[in-house]
Structure 1
Amino acid sequence: MKKILLLLAGISLFMGCKSAQNATSKNSAALNELVSIMQGHYSSEKQSLEDKDYYNISLRMTPIWKEKGNYLFVEQAIFDKQDKPYRVRVYKVSQRNDTEFISEIYTLKNEKDWIGKWAIPEAYDKLTDADMELKQGCEVVLKRVAKNKFTGSTGDKTCPSELRGASFANSKVTVTKNEILSWDQGFDKDGKQVWGATKAGYHFIKMKN
């Protein structure tokens, strides 16, 4: 039997830190490119059919708050249970310098109030900073390595995690025009993996924008 809780715990994709803030400058072409290719509806169906150790996961990234910056409302769910997502988040994508970009993550205090609102994105106008909580110490730093391709990871042992006896979590991410590869793992204080995929990350293929 698959250890669903251990595996799904690791599919966070972009674990991040820092605080929400208003956009202060015009996006660069590279930042626009990253935000554009991230958004959409993804599935890991192909991977789940090829390897039974992986689940068919639905991943939705819906742009919100365009006047404030680059924010995505994110829902992840078992594909045939999309009305009951196991993860609801807000991601902020920003640019650190000429070569580095940052993905930040926020949890929601009343996430059930926002499930399924991707169908009417204007509903997120009522979502405020006060409704969210920042996950500290877990940003993914991404670099643009080619056109429509960004890759990066969390810092080494910088992201705390207490799930399943973990001490810290690591995340490795690659974003391309139509795919996202995400490998999230939790480790205990001795460096033993206690949650997340063990062979490779999850392979999400974009279904539609």
Structure 2
Amino acid sequence: MGSGSDTNGWNRARGLAVKTLLLIGGALLIKRLRKSTTRWDHAHFVAKSLAGEKYSKDQASRDPDNYFNIRMLTCPAAELVDGSKVLYFEQAFWRSPQKPFRQRFFMVKPCPKELKCDVELSTYAIRDMEEYKNFCDRPRDQRPQPEEVIGDIAEHLTTVHLKRCPRGKRCLYEGSTPPGGFPNSWNGATYCTSELSIMKNNEIHTWDRGYDDDGNQVWGQKEGPYEFKPAPTSSFNDMFSPLNFLPPPSMERRIEGSFVLQE
């Protein structure tokens, strides 16, 4: 009899302990879910998502006539006194990562309160691009230091306003330049537009286009955005893929028009 009573008592105590833990866990989960995400939380998440090494190899494999295997590399470069993150960004052909054809600074911060968006991503030119080639690949003590980076931020080029994606979409954040885009004079354009999506699988989709006074597209991809996926753990097996060789010189101008927002 005594043994059975002890067992029942132990079972009741164990059950009570489990219920207590479940109640505590539930309360903590509710508290976490109710905690509002701050404006800076959004900005920091976008900055972190942009950082890293990404490639358009898969897209180039599917559609080699319209897309190339491009390496996109982004990393933190400085932080402003207001908390804005400054990232260094470059793009290069896979086979020549040491020769980027596009170099920019990104500035990431919360959207102004009067705008209906979450994150403001602005693109700036660099005063001396040669000084920053392969910035992310270099040891920290061999890079321009944060105070130098801030001094080397040149003219403003574009701004994209990002919003959180609705539940059920593949993206986490997406946005574009304001209506009318930004001035751009490359290859007969008078203005340019940019679209950006940060996907749930850590991909980055970008679409830059230039238009003339009549609204005709004069540079940039027409089929859709470039899709950059995180770098694989090893790309050795892909080293000799035809997609990884530089295009002939005659194609370089067309490619630049697809990527470079010329000042």
Which TM class, normalised by the smaller chain length? Answer: 0.7 to 0.9
Tell me whether 1:57 sits opposite 2:70 in the alignment.
yes
Q: Which residue of 2 aligns with 1:105?
A: 123
CA RMSD, Structure 1 to Structure 2 (Å) = 2.2
Give the deviation of 1:154 after TM superposition. 0.4
Q: Determine if contact 1:37/1:176 at 8 Å carries over to the other structure.
A: no
> Which residue in the other structure is 1:162 paired with?
185
2:110 is matched by which residue type in structure 1? Q
Q: Going by fraction, where is helix more abundant, 1 or 2?
A: 2
Percent of paired sites with the same residue = 25
- Contact conserved, 1:62 with 1:121, CA < 8 A, in 2? no
Higher relative contact order (CA 8 A, sep 6+): 1
Alpha-carbon distance in 1 for matches of 2:42, 2:54: 22
Deviation at 1:57, TM superposition (A): 0.6
Further displaced range: 92-101 or 165-174: 92-101
Equivalences for residues 63-78 of structure 1 within 5 A: 63-66=76-79, 68=81, 69-78=84-93
Q: Which residue of 2 aligns with 1:87?
A: 102
Structure 1 residues 113 and 51, CA gap change in structure 2 (3 angstroms): same
Structure 2 distance, partners of 1:167, 1:174, is 24
User: 1:41–1:208: 8 Å Cα contact kept in structure 2?
Assistant: no
Distance 2:232 2:124 in 1: 24
Tell me the CA shift for residue 67 of structure 1.
6.2
Show structure 2 runs of 5+ residues with no match: 1-37, 234-263
1:182 matched residue in structure 2? 206
Checking the alignment, whether the CA contact within 8 Å between 2:197 and 2:206 is kept in structure 1 is: yes
Residue 68 of structure 2 aligns to a residue whose secondary structure is coil
Structure 2 partner of 1:18: none
Counterpart-to-counterpart distance in 2, 1:197 and 1:121: 35
Q: Which residue of 2 aligns with 1:48?
A: 60
Q: Deviations over 1:10-69 (max 9, x none)?
A: xxxxxxxxxxxxxxxx97322222111111100000000110110111000111214643
* Alignment correspondent of 2:162: 142
Amino acid at match of 1:131: D
Secondary structure (helix, strand or coil) at the match of 2:144 reads helix
Deviation at 1:158, TM superposition (A): 3.1
Amino acid at match of 2:197: T
Give the corresponding residue for 2:20. none
Whether contact under 8 Å (2:42, 2:119) holds in the other structure is no
Give the direction of change, closer, same or farther, for the CA distance of 1:81–1:116 in structure 2 (3 Å limit).
Answer: same
Of structures 1 and 2, the larger Rg is shown by 2
1:132 aligns with 2:132: no
How far 1:117 moved relative to its partner?
2.3
Deviates more, 1:110-119 or 1:141-150: 141-150
Normalised TM-score (structure 2): 0.64
Which residue of 2 is the match for residue 13 of structure 1? Answer: none
Identify which of 104, 118, 123 aligns with 2:136.
118
Unaligned runs of 5+ in 1: 1-25
**Corresponding residue pairs, total:** 183
Q: Could you tell me which residue of structure 1 aligns to residue 48 of structure 2? A: 36
- Secondary structure of 1:83's counterpart equals coil
Instruction: Find the residue that maps to 1:35 and give its secondary structure.
Output: helix
